[in-house]
């Protein structure tokens, strides 16, 4: 009977339990050092835990390594024993009867040997092939005598007469021919990529004589390498796992015990902390019954713990919750969401007091909320402080209202005599007075006008702060508002080299719905402020459409069509403002600094009032400034378009008209050139001295009146165009006094006072060119 190759069980060596790891033993034996932190004495440090785990893991690997080497040697020995065992089943005298060719397949001997090979292969499922080979030592040839393989290999099983020259079979057969009793080839891959372990032995179980020249019959035995590896791996894993369990379980139990001990200590500390806490804490079940209260809550409420335990905590409230409130808060508790609320509790003495409770649901691992924690704070003192603050606030508001009423009343009362002073000082100035008297009257007039403006500012501010300021939207022309504002501030530039410039974008509507009086007041405040702090240079006002689809603020008027936002900017080249002083700009009765207040005057109300009005108009204010380089104030306002409003039609009244602009101000030159080009004019900018030489290149000219002071240049112009030339429009500075205006009328036939109204300028040029309102063809030169 054939013996199977693998036994049902593998041999194991008996090993005793390993000694306790050295670090653990030393840790238990060494007493705690003095001065070590409590946390360090309570448990093992993280590094020591890692070290112990590493030692346990390494011990398992070492045990597994020893088991692997033992199992490999054991399995190799079993493979050799199996090959020798099966080789004895095929004596050399019997196999010598096979010729090693296809003719053997019909012989009875071949059939008997093939049947025995099949029985040997089927003895264990791990056997894949078993065959007999014949080696010819003299030539080195190897031939197959007979073979048996698993059915799944089919035609790949070698047949009698198949050559095995040059294969591993030939090398193993030559080893046996050298006198070796057995040859082994560990895991190798066959022609189909499957891995095997193979044993070779001389038929009959003996050994070949060294140097033999005759044929030698060899048995080849193939075992599935996967089965081999799994057998070894199972033994290695069992040995390593046993070591890990043997050493790891005690250490894991030690750590778990330490962790449980720390948790118990933590729970004890938390319990002591809650017991000794000054904060009132109550733990209640879902049905409102009290689970636990700490001494602070007992002290706060006046009941003992024994008296509180049978009670429902909601019964401590003076007002029981409504069913809706209960349902809402129960839903929060079930969802595990913390919440806060203020209630009124009743003490055991019957006294009521306000509390603020923070309710935190306690969720278990299953998701259930069996209890809630209530942190209850007595807010009696806070409520008293809130009442005191509320009374102080009411008193302050009442005082503020009284102040506003007082300011409004006094401003109104002060304006009445001031209006009389202004009026009669104007009448007195028209009478015959001496130069000294004229100076005194002018001082009275300016001082009284300043007081009137101050009273108006105080009245406006008091109305704004009292909330009595109401907007009155009405149709207004934004361009006209800008130009009229510049006309008002033009008198402030008298005697100073300041150019008043303005630019209005082409898409700004001719009519919008807005409180024009308030918008003019804002624009006048910003422009006057810019002129006041500018010694020389430019003050430029710009207007453009910021947005035509923006939803307006609640305070902005919306009686007409769609909303629109206009952006105004006022730029000056004045003294500028330091960044640290920008916060003071919009505070009432505040100046940037005392030096500016003394030098430039003013009560500090204009910008504060302007910002309030801008916000009432649905916009806001922004400022950019740099000391010594001037400032730019931006403010936006929200307005509406009238129903069926249409964009302004293009103005072609100056189409193809050649206009020369001769002025010493670059800013004015840019402004005039821009406006004339938008109306179709062909603009040139010759130097004032070259205006006469280029008179054939222009139809009309706009000339700065200061050019007439240059005798040579003006004589050249009058020599060509005559005295008071009809083709020249004189542009008078905004700060010119009455005497200068009378003098200029003797030099220019057409005179336009600055700041120039763009529409009036275009109409004047059209009349000078002989065009009607529809825009006739230009006059020939």
Neighbouring CB atoms inside 10 A of 467's CB total: 9
Report DSSP state, residue 99: -
Give the mean pLDDT of 430-437: 77
Give the mean pLDDT of 685-709: 84
Cα pseudo-dihedral 323, 325, 331, 336, rounded to 10? -140
For residue range 293-329, what is the model confidence (pLDDT) as tens digits? 889 899 988 999 898 888 888 888 888 888 888 888 8
Higher pLDDT, 547 or 554: 547
Higher pLDDT, 602 or 446: 446
Res 41 pLDDT > 80? no
Give the mean pLDDT of 232-236: 88
Higher pLDDT, 539 or 732: 539
Q: Are 703 and 729 in contact (CB under 8 A)?
A: yes
Give the mean pLDDT of 561-576: 87
Res 572 pLDDT > 90? yes
The vertex-381 CA angle with 375 and 386, nearest 5°, equals 105
Higher pLDDT, 24 or 315: 315
Res 485 pLDDT > 80? yes
Give the mean pLDDT of 261-284: 81
Res 31 pLDDT > 70? no
Give the mean pLDDT of 83-91: 87
Give the mean pLDDT of 470-477: 87
Res 561 pLDDT > 60? no
Round to the nearest angstrom and report the end-to-end CA distance of the chain: 138
Res 224 pLDDT > 90? no
Give the mean pLDDT of 545-560: 53
H or E element, residue 120:
helix 108-122
- The residue among 221, 142, 160 whose CA lies nearest residue 185 is 221
Res 429 pLDDT > 80? no
Res 675 pLDDT > 70? yes
Query: For residue 322, with 0-12 CB atoms within 10 Å meaning exposed, 13-18 middle and 19 or more buried, which class applies?
Result: exposed
What's the rounded Cα separation, in Å, for the pair 330 and 353? 25
pLDDT the model gives residue 540: 93
Give the mean pLDDT of 524-539: 89
- The residue among 595, 366, 352, 588 whose CA lies nearest residue 462 is 588
Band (pLDDT 50/70/90 cuts) for residue 519 is very high
pLDDT the model gives residue 632: 93
pLDDT the model gives residue 582: 72
Band (pLDDT 50/70/90 cuts) for residue 482 is very high
Give the mean pLDDT of 48-57: 85
Res 110 pLDDT > 70? yes
Band (pLDDT 50/70/90 cuts) for residue 19 is very low
Give me the helices (H) in 577-639, please.
594-600, 606-616
Higher pLDDT, 46 or 682: 682
576: left (phi over 0), alpha (psi -120 to 50) or beta: left
The vertex-647 CA angle with 644 and 648, nearest 5°, equals 120
pLDDT the model gives residue 277: 83
Band (pLDDT 50/70/90 cuts) for residue 770 is confident
As a whole-number percent, the residues of the chain with pLDDT over 70 amount to 83
Task: State whether residue 111 is helix, strand or coil.
Answer: helix
Task: State whether residue 284 is helix, strand or coil.
Answer: strand
Choose from 280-284, 417-421, 490-494, 752-756 the range with maximum mean pLDDT: 280-284
pLDDT the model gives residue 100: 84
For residue 474, what are its two tokens?
Answer: 């009405």
From 372-386, 397-411, 430-444, 705-719, the region with the lowest mean pLDDT: 397-411
Res 602 pLDDT > 90? no
H or E element, residue 291:
strand 290-293
pLDDT the model gives residue 223: 86
The vertex-488 CA angle with 485 and 490, nearest 5°, equals 110
Give the mean pLDDT of 681-697: 85
**In DSSP terms, which residues pair with 542 in a beta bridge?**
503, 569
pLDDT the model gives residue 780: 35
For residue range 96-109, what is the model confidence (pLDDT) as tens digits? 888 888 888 888 88
What's the rounded Cα separation, in Å, for the pair 39 and 520? 76
pLDDT the model gives residue 631: 92
pLDDT the model gives residue 11: 36
What's the rounded Cα separation, in Å, for the pair 519 and 482? 10
- State the greatest distance between any 2 C-alpha atoms of the chain, in Å, as a whole number: 166
Average per-residue pLDDT in the chain?
Answer: 79
pLDDT the model gives residue 439: 75
Task: State whether residue 303 is helix, strand or coil.
Answer: coil
H or E element, residue 500:
strand 498-504
Res 126 pLDDT > 60? yes
pLDDT the model gives residue 556: 43
- The residue among 643, 634, 638 whose CA lies nearest residue 607 is 634
Res 588 pLDDT > 90? no
For residue 614, what are its two tokens?
Answer: 């801008």
Res 697 pLDDT > 60? yes
Give the mean pLDDT of 401-423: 71
pLDDT the model gives residue 410: 67
Give the mean pLDDT of 254-277: 79
pLDDT the model gives residue 458: 67
Higher pLDDT, 478 or 288: 478
From 271-280, 411-420, 551-560, 671-680, the region with the lowest mean pLDDT: 551-560
pLDDT the model gives residue 40: 42
Q: Rg (Cα) of the chain, in Å, rounded? A: 56
């Amino acid at each position: 009977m054939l013996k199977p190759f693998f036994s049902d069980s593998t041999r194991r060596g008996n090993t005793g339990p390993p000694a306790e790891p050295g670090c653990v033993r030393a840790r238990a034996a060494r007493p705690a050092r003095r001065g070590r932190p409590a946390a360090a004495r309570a448990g093992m440090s993280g590094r020591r835990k890692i070290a112990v785990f590493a030692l346990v893991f390494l011990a398992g690997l070492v045990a597994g390594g020893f088991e692997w080497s033992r199992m490999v040697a054991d399995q190799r020995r079993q493979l050799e024993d199996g090959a020798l065992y099966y080789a004895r089943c095929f004596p050399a005298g019997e196999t010598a009867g096979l010729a090693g060719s296809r003719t053997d397949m019909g012989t009875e001997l071949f059939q008997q040997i093939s049947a025995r090979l099949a029985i040997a292969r089927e003895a264990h499922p791990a056997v894949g092939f078993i065959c007999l080979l014949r080696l010819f030592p003299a030539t080195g040839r190897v031939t197959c005598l007979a073979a048996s393989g698993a059915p799944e290999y089919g035609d790949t099983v070698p047949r009698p007469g198949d050559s095995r020259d040059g294969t591993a079979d030939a090398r193993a057969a030559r080893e046996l021919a050298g006198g070796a009793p057995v040859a082994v080839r560990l895991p190798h891959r066959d022609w189909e990529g499957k891995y095997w372990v193979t044993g070779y032995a001389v038929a009959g179980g003996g050994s070949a004589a060294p140097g033999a020249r005759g044929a030698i019959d060899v048995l080849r035995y193939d075992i599935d390498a996967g089965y081999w590896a799994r057998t070894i791996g199972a033994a290695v894993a069992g040995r390593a796992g046993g070591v890990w369990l043997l050493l790891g379980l005690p250490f894991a139990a030690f750590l778990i015990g330490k962790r449980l001990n720390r948790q118990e200590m933590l729970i004890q500390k938390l319990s002591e902390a809650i017991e000794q806490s000054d904060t009132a804490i109550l733990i209640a079940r879902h049905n409102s019954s009290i689970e636990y209260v700490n001494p602070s809550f007992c002290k706060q409420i006046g009941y003992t713990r024994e008296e509180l335990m049978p009670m429902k905590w909601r019964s401590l409230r003076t007002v029981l919750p409504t069913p809706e409130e209960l349902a809402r808060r129960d839903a929060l508790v079930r969802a595990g969401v913390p919440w806060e609320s203020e209630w009124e509790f009743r003490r055991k003495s019957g006294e009521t007091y306000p509390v603020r409770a923070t309710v935190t649901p306690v969720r278990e691992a299953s998701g259930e909320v069996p209890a809630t924690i209530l942190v209850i704070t007595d807010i009696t003192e806070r409520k008293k402080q809130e009442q005191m603050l509320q009374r102080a606030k009411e008193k302050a508001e009442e005082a503020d209202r009284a102040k506003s009423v007082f300011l409004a009343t006094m401003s109104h009362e002060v304006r009445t005599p001031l209006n009389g002073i202004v009026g009669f000082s104007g009448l007195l100035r028209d009478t015959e007075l001496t130069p000294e008297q004229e100076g005194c009257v002018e001082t009275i007039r300016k001082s009284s006008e300043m007081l009137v403006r101050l009273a108006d500012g105080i009245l406006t501010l008091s109305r704004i702060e009292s909330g009595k300021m109401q907007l009155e939207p009405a149709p207004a022309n934004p361009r006209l508002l800008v130009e009229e504002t510049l006309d008002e501030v033009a008198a402030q530039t008298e005697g100073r080299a300041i150019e008043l410039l303005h630019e209005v974008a082409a898409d700004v509507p001719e009519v919008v719905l807005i409180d024009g009086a308030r918008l003019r007041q804002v624009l006048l405040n910003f422009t006057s402020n810019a002129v006041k702090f500018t010694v020389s240079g430019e003050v430029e006002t710009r207007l453009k459409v910021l947005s035509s689809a923006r939803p307006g603020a609640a305070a902005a008027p919306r009686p007409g069509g769609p909303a629109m936002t206009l952006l105004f900017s006022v730029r000056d080249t004045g003294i500028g403002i330091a960044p640290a002083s920008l916060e003071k700009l919009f505070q009432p009765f505040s100046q940037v600094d005392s030096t500016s207040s003394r030098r430039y005057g003013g009560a500090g109300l204009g910008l504060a009032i302007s910002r309030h009005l801008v916000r009432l108009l649905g916009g806001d204010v922004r400022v950019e400034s740099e000391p010594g380089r001037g400032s730019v104030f931006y403010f936006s306002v929200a307005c509406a378009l009238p129903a069926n409003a249409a964009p302004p039609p293009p103005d072609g009244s100056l189409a193809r008209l050649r206009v020369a602009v001769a002025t010493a101000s670059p800013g004015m030159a840019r402004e005039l050139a821009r406006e004339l080009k938008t109306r179709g004019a062909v603009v040139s900018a010759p130097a004032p001295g070259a205006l006469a030489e280029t008179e054939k290149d222009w139809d009309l000219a706009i000339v700065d009146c200061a050019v007439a002071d240059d005798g040579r240049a003006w004589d050249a112009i009058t020599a060509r165009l005559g005295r008071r030339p009809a083709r020249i429009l004189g542009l008078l500075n905004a700060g010119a006094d009455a005497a200068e205006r009378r003098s200029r009328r003797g030099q220019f036939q057409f005179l336009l006072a600055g700041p120039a109204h763009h529409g009036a300028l275009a109409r004047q040029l059209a009349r000078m060119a002989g065009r009607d309102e529809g825009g006739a063809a230009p006059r020939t030169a």
